[in-house]
Amino acid sequence: MAEHLETLLKTSRLYRPTAQTVERAYIKDYDAAYQASIANPERFWDGIAKELEWFSPWHTVLEWKYPWAKWFLGGTCNITCNCLDRHVRSWRSNKVAVIWVGEQGEERIFTYAELYRQVNRCANALTRLGMQQGDRVTIYLPKIPEQIIAMLACARLGLIHSVVYSGFSAPALESRIQDAEARLAITADYGYDRGTAIPLKPVVDKAVANCPTIEKTIVVRRDKQGGDLRAGRELDWDEWLEGESTACDARPLDAETPLYVLYTSGTTGKPKGVVHVHGGYMVGTYITTKYVFDLKDEDVYFCVADPGWVTGHSYIVYGPLLNGATVLMAEGKPDYPTPGRWWEIIEQYGVSIFYTTPTAIRLLMKYGEDWPQHHDLSTLRILGSVGEPINPEAWEWFHRVTGGDKPIMDTWWQTETGSILVTPLPCVPLKPGSATRPFPGIEADVVDKNGRSIGTGGGFAVIKKPWPSMMRTILNDPDRYLSYWNTIPGCYTAGDVCHKDDDGYFWFMGRADDVVKVAGNRIGTAEVESALVSHEAVVEAAVIGKPHQTAGEMIKGFVILKQGQQETPELIDHLKQHVQMELGKIAVPREIEIVTSLPKTRSGKIMRRVLKAKELGQDPGDISTLEE
């Protein structure tokens, strides 16, 4: 890896922005803007927050009682006022807010005024069910507009939404509902995956059977024929909203009021509920969307994420709507029904900003350049990538097939950070594979394990000062929140290994902990291990991430079988199915190897690092603590 990086750094070409790109960008001189922001970050964030509407102003920008931060103290706001009301009162009222394209070729279009009315109806219906500020609502929906409507309706009332990606299985959904103690579940009858209808309601039924806090389930029925609902406990979305008023005032909330909880994987088997709040998250997602994508009113902004993940929260829903943008959201995979799908959408809707992932780019790369070449992509002006390191080959391909002159914003951030922290802006010269420099107001660095800045070279990515959109805690587990701030003294530790070059450019290399990024999705090895171990044939399991050409990383499991169990291809299949049932398709190991022992420390901890080195034919490093 290190050797590969050396040559990369030497050969890396610098792509300078065109004069036109710089001319129209909000930030024309990165260094000047960054230095000014960092000279007094609180003043910088204060100025940004003032671009938005508040019910009442704050008296203090930041209260920092290490490691607990509060932003915009005394201020009251509601993120939905800035996503909706602010635009509905302006000329944007009839501007398109959301274009939704379904996998079956359907199209639904919402103006700001229409989205506002739908959100209000949903909020009124939530109130009618007796939902109170602070209550949790679990949203388990496919990528359809109701997902945005439900999220905003919760936020409007100060309810806390917990969106769970609709690819998760019943046990995974169940544990997330239980941890959040949700009162309500919102789901749909079906999602679609490459033309196949995937029933979601049975997953919810199975999960809520063990969730006594759930009082009601709301079901968006895409197929009105299918599936009966249990009277009293289950409601049809349309019937639920019928007759509700399209007016509903947003509730004024203290800036630190929780907006949502979103579960993500870490180093233990239990996912962490990352908590974000109205005020700071609003400021962070608003300004990063605006500056990074140079978002203007005439843009059509297409982000391929699923609202079930943080990218969907911050860069499909909140960031773009805060800016009054036209957001395009497309259900389905990039290569269904053909590998021309996304290029076709870009041409058809005149997309100007396209935010995607390295995995998707590599997948489309496999199908060749003919597909993009068959489409007029001349409306594109800014591109984006997120979720995992983008390899220079994929970067160059993406750059070339889209015309060779559109800057790619390789945005680095995390569920915990709420918004983009290290990223190019359109005016910044690019090096393929590097997320370049910190966003204004963000003091990012690369340090050794004692927190000493390494200048140039490799180390751990950290953030040295609080920022508005940072998570406020981990739900029900403040100790886990603390661990982000006390692993390396005085800093927020991101858990990423990173290299900083002579120009101060950041090169994120992957996770330093036991988290694997499969197609950009964050999977904890411990979660997959406990799923494997819960199978009756398994005694012990260890899971590692391994490089994969398209997905970036893939999961490999090493399994010790119980005595008397035979290794057969059927058993391997069963184990895979079992993981799918426990966690969902995205967590299934691509490879499972049956072994008779696992490398462990004397205290019995599995040394995944050693397994991984062996698997990749590398030097395992220091193995003095190895038992055998």
The two structure tokens encoding residue 493: 């530790």
Of 289, 415, 469, 525, which one interacts with ligand WTA (CB under 6 A)? 415
CB atoms within 10 A of CB 224: 9
CB of 103 to ligand WTA, least distance (A): 23
Contact criterion met (CB below 8 Å) for 302 and 354: yes
Q: Which stretch binds ligand WTA (CB under 6 A): 12-20, 190-198, 404-412, 539-547?
A: 404-412
- Say how far apart CA 425 and CA 22 lie, in whole Å: 10
CB of 470 to ligand WTA, least distance (A): 13
Contact criterion met (CB below 8 Å) for 535 and 548: no
> For ligand WTA, how many residues bind (rule: CB under 6 A)?
21
- Say how far apart CA 483 and CA 190 lie, in whole Å: 39
- Say how far apart CA 53 and CA 196 lie, in whole Å: 44
Name the residue type at position 402: T
Q: How far is CA 309 from CA 25, 84, 312, 588, 627, in A?
A: 28, 22, 5, 18, 39
Using rule CB under 6 A, residue 446 touches ligand WTA: no
- Say how far apart CA 43 and CA 50 lie, in whole Å: 11
Using rule CB under 6 A, residue 412 touches ligand WTA: yes
Report the site for ligand WTA in 260-279 (rule: CB under 6 A).
264
- Say how far apart CA 38 and CA 54 lie, in whole Å: 25
CB of 435 to ligand WTA, least distance (A): 5
- Say how far apart CA 505 and CA 424 lie, in whole Å: 10
**CB closer to ligand WTA, 264 vs 525:** 264
Pick from 514, 536, 528, 513: nearest CA to 584: 528
Q: Which stretch binds ligand WTA (CB under 6 A): 202-210, 215-223, 288-296, 412-420?
A: 412-420
**CB closer to ligand WTA, 465 vs 517:** 517
Using rule CB under 6 A, residue 493 touches ligand WTA: no
Task: Please give the DSSP secondary-structure letter assigned to residue 249.
Answer: P
Using rule CB under 6 A, residue 317 touches ligand WTA: no
Using rule CB under 6 A, residue 289 touches ligand WTA: no
Using rule CB under 6 A, residue 434 touches ligand WTA: no
Q: Which stretch binds ligand WTA (CB under 6 A): 84-92, 191-199, 481-489, 491-499?
A: 491-499
Of 170, 219, 310, 430, which one interacts with ligand WTA (CB under 6 A)? 310
Using rule CB under 6 A, residue 311 touches ligand WTA: yes
Helix ranges restricted to H, 316-471 = 319-322, 341-349, 358-367, 370-373, 392-401
Using rule CB under 6 A, residue 511 touches ligand WTA: yes
Using rule CB under 6 A, residue 313 touches ligand WTA: no
- Say how far apart CA 200 and CA 313 lie, in whole Å: 21
Using rule CB under 6 A, residue 293 touches ligand WTA: no
Using rule CB under 6 A, residue 410 touches ligand WTA: yes
Q: Which stretch binds ligand WTA (CB under 6 A): 95-103, 408-416, 469-477, 484-492?
A: 408-416
Using rule CB under 6 A, residue 413 touches ligand WTA: yes
Pick from 331, 356, 334, 353: nearest CA to 344: 334
Q: Which stretch binds ligand WTA (CB under 6 A): 61-69, 493-501, 597-605, 609-617?
A: 493-501
Task: Please give the DSSP secondary-structure letter assigned to residue 184.
Answer: E
- Please report, as ranges, the residues that interact with ligand WTA according to CB under 6 A: 264, 310-311, 386-389, 410-415, 435, 494-496, 508, 511, 517, 522
